């Protein structure tokens, strides 16, 4: 039987830390949170592999090094409220919950909401709130957010999400345009007065979140 505790340690030592992630808070979050509990039973044996895992509903368990790098570049603060987009399995929300004051995650069906709620109870995580809604719209009623974490690749950053950032708030995602094999890790910061800055970090082959795939345009 796989030793999951050793697998977590190996994930940090062999995948995350060697790829430039040095923030001790992030390393501790990955080493202590039982990643295997967030995937279906048939995927538990590969939960710590160095790859993205796509669930049956299209939701994604991000490749560990990509996930950790996204967190390091966005620098979540211990007092910040964060929004997580596209996290059907709950793992991205649970990791951020170790690093911030409060996490809002949007669920699109009862199964997602039940799964995340049950895991939070089992793991004694009390700073995650699940809201029903359309992930493309975010959760404006609870805005503004210090961090918006998009759990997967998107073709374009929705304006609705940017408008939910606090001044100084950061959105992080993998932006992947139609036809691209690799996307770019993108951070967008709200500078205030309707101004935003953006910059790219690293390349990643992260799969699309189904709702954020490129929209095909037909020409005649």
In order of their start, the domains of the chain are 52-212 (3.40.50.150)
Q: Is the pLDDT of residue 25 over 70?
A: yes
Mean pLDDT of all residues in 188-215: 94
Q: Is the pLDDT of residue 111 over 90?
A: no
pLDDT confidence of 216, banded at 50, 70, 90?
low
Mean pLDDT of all residues in 110-131: 93
Report, in angstroms and rounded to the nearest whole number, the Rg of the chain calculated over CA atoms. 16
Q: What is the pLDDT of residue 56?
A: 77
The pair phi, psi for residue 19, each rounded to 5°, is -95, 25
| H-run or E-run covering 101 | none
| Measured distance CA(171)–CA(165) in Å, rounded | 7
Q: Cβ contacts of residue 178 below 8 Å, gap of 6+?
A: 155, 214
pLDDT confidence of 165, banded at 50, 70, 90?
very high
H helix runs in 57-183, sequence order: 64-74, 91-97, 110-122, 159-162
Q: What is the pLDDT of residue 124?
A: 96
59-77 pLDDT tens trace: 999 999 999 999 999 999 9
- Write down the mean pLDDT value for the chain: 94
pLDDT confidence of 169, banded at 50, 70, 90?
very high
Q: Is the pLDDT of residue 16 over 60?
A: yes
Q: What is the pLDDT of residue 1?
A: 67
Percent of the chain with pLDDT over 90: 87
Q: Most distant CA pair in the chain: distance in Å?
A: 58
What string of DSSP letters covers 132-162? Answer: ES-GGG--GGG--EEEEEEEEEESS--HHHH
């Amino acid at each position: 039987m796989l030793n999951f505790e050793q697998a977590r340690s190996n994930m940090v030592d062999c995948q995350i830390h060697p790829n430039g992630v040095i923030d001790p808070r992030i390393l501790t979050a990955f080493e202590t949170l039982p990643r295997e509990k967030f995937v279906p039973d048939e995927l538990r044996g590969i939960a710590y592999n160095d790859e993205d895992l796509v669930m049956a509903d299209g939701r994604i368990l991000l490749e560990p090094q990509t996930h950790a790098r996204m967190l390091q570049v966005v620098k979540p603060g211990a007092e910040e409220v964060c929004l997580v987009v596209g996290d059907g399995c709950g793992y991205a929300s649970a990791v951020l919950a170790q690093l911030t004051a409060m996490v809002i995650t949007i669920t699109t069906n009862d199964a997602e909401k039940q799964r995340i709620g049950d895991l939070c109870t089992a793991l004694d995580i009390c700073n995650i709130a699940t809201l029903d809604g359309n992930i493309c719209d975010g959760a404006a009623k609870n805005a503004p957010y210090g961090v918006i974490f998009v759990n997967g690749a998107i073709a374009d950053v929705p304006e609705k999400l940017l408008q939910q950032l606090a001044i100084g708030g950061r959105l992080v995602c993998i932006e992947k345009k139609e036809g691209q094999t690799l996307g770019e890790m993108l951070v967008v910061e709200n500078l205030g007065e309707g101004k935003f800055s953006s910059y790219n970090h690293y390349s990643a082959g992260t799969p699309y979140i189904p709702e954020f795939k490129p929209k095909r345009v037909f020409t005649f």
